[in-house]
Structure 1
């Protein structure tokens, strides 16, 4: 069975105001999602599941169905505030969705096979999709998950600090721990992260970091559902608390339920953390098209 790609796109609408203006970066008006889907299809993924907000479904289908019809199976899942709450009342002051691990949980009834998770607005590169597809087809098990490990230096913005999940791997190349560093930036010719107290710590350029490209066995849904219950009991009343994928992965590792293979890639990641990043993304894609990595028009 071919693996599935789950694309986290529920947050896009709030960033763009309307999906009509999803930013076009490719020479024929392609969005970053278009490149991810194109790479996924050629790497061997058989289905694309989009996590979206229900009120944007019509617009979303209008954008993607004409391109993808006949090329790959698609499905749409909503991240709704009341999904999987199991009787827990939505707090009155809660406006924020419950986070990335909750978004994944919302796809529980749409996925019955090993699957990968990506962000909608990050460009991950062909190599990453090939490595992930191979992992999902041949190595993924109930006790073996994976994460693509990017080299830190290939994920930095020139226009300000970024948040990165810094990965520590053990001697077998499995994830030992993941630490969310919320302020990582270039400081002269070094890359540093800052602690809450302002102290700086240098990170090696080749340090592996997670860009939220995960490979899961479908058993992750049951585990996530249990953890989400615990999360709600502990932090559900905090208006800004979020149930993130690393919380689930950390539980999986710490409780010795299995291992998470780090799939190293030298691919260049890019995304739009700051609006000043947009011209660079456009230039990078143009260079890849000129080099023959992608056709001028992806869906022609």
Structure 2
């Protein structure tokens, strides 16, 4: 059974100042998603589900449907603000999406197979798709999920703080915990994350989640229960976000799931700020020049 790829593409791009998931970064105008799709197809994925806002659907269909026809099955899941929110809570007043965990839940009815889930605006490289793809195709433990980790020093931006899931890995290579830190940056030659009570140092080789996860469909019942609890507690918090690392941490703590950690030696880069764009464009051009990708992806 071929696994499915979910792509988190409903974000607002507030720090970037636009719809960065559809911006052009490759030498022929490719989006970053084009490279993820190209690598996923090479790694044996059989379906892609774009998780988007309704107002983006027409643009996505125009960009991707024709180029992917015959190469991979294409589907769309809409992350609406009221999806899976208990009806008794009344009208949802927020305008910002509920976060990555909620986005994954919105793809529940589009995902019958084991699946990977990634950010639209991150480049992960072929190795990461091969690692997760092989795991999803061969592992038979319904409660064992997976993630690809990268060293935090390789995931920073020169132009401001970044959000990362900071991971602790136990002796058998499984995830012990992952905590979303929303302000990580380099300060006076050291890497820190900022909290209300000050800065905390991070070792440069600390593994962090870049939202490349592999899940079995068994995750959805717990995911739905977790989000319902979260929505009830945060219905009046207009900027609160329900993250995938929170989902995984709860699975681990309640012994409903475990997570194998793969350490990628491949290249990662992403876009958070407008000034990141030329860096990503240069990196993608270099990968084409090195023969890692053909002159034309499609």
Give the TM-score, by structure 1 length.
Answer: 0.93
Shift of the alpha carbon at 1:70?
A: 0.8
Shift of the alpha carbon at 1:267?
A: 2.0
Deviations 1:56-94 (A, max 9, x none): 212210010111011111101111112122423344532
Aligned residue number for residue 257 of structure 1: 256
CA gap of 1:90–1:34, structure 2 versus 1, over 3 A, is farther
Shift of the alpha carbon at 1:148?
A: 0.7
Asked whether the 8 Å contact 2:82–2:92 carries over to 1, the reply is no
Shift of the alpha carbon at 1:118?
A: 0.5
Shift of the alpha carbon at 1:202?
A: 2.6
1:152, 1:191 → 2: CA distance?
Answer: 8
Q: Which one is further off, 168-177 or 131-140?
A: 131-140
1:238, 1:190 → 2: CA distance?
Answer: 33
Matched, 1:125 2:125: yes
Q: State how many pairs are aligned.
A: 297
CA gap of 1:95–1:88, structure 2 versus 1, over 3 A, is farther
Aligned residue number for residue 2 of structure 1: 2
2:253, 2:94 → 1: CA distance?
Answer: 30
Aligned residue number for residue 76 of structure 1: 76
Alignment of 1:92-131 (within 5 A): 93-131=93-131
2:90, 2:243 → 1: CA distance?
Answer: 18
1:252, 1:133 → 2: CA distance?
Answer: 21
1:235, 1:97 → 2: CA distance?
Answer: 13
Q: Which one is further off, 276-285 or 265-274?
A: 265-274
Deviations 1:267-293 (A, max 9, x none): 221111111111110111111111110
Aligned residue number for residue 163 of structure 2: 163
Aligned residue number for residue 224 of structure 1: 223
Deviations 1:18-47 (A, max 9, x none): 68x932111111110000000100011010
Asked whether the 8 Å contact 1:16–1:22 carries over to 2, the reply is no
Asked whether the 8 Å contact 2:178–2:246 carries over to 1, the reply is no
Runs of 4+ in 1 over 3 A off after TM superposition: 12-19, 88-93
2:92, 2:242 → 1: CA distance?
Answer: 18
2:49, 2:241 → 1: CA distance?
Answer: 22
Q: Which one is further off, 185-194 or 274-283?
A: 185-194
User: Which sections of structure 1, spanning at least 5 residues, go unmatched?
Assistant: none
Asked whether the 8 Å contact 2:4–2:45 carries over to 1, the reply is yes
Asked whether the 8 Å contact 2:2–2:46 carries over to 1, the reply is yes
Q: Which one is further off, 7-16 or 79-88?
A: 7-16
Aligned residue for 1:157, secondary structure, equals coil
Matched, 1:296 2:261: no
Shift of the alpha carbon at 1:9?
A: 0.8
1:117, 1:256 → 2: CA distance?
Answer: 22
2:80, 2:51 → 1: CA distance?
Answer: 10
Aligned residue for 2:26, secondary structure, equals coil
Aligned residue for 2:163, secondary structure, equals strand
Aligned residue for 2:89, secondary structure, equals coil
Deviations 1:104-141 (A, max 9, x none): 11111111110000011111111111111011111253
1:141, 1:55 → 2: CA distance?
Answer: 38
Shift of the alpha carbon at 1:17?
A: 5.1
Asked whether the 8 Å contact 1:3–1:47 carries over to 2, the reply is yes
Aligned residue number for residue 247 of structure 1: 246
1:92, 1:259 → 2: CA distance?
Answer: 33
Give the TM-score, by structure 2 length.
Answer: 0.94
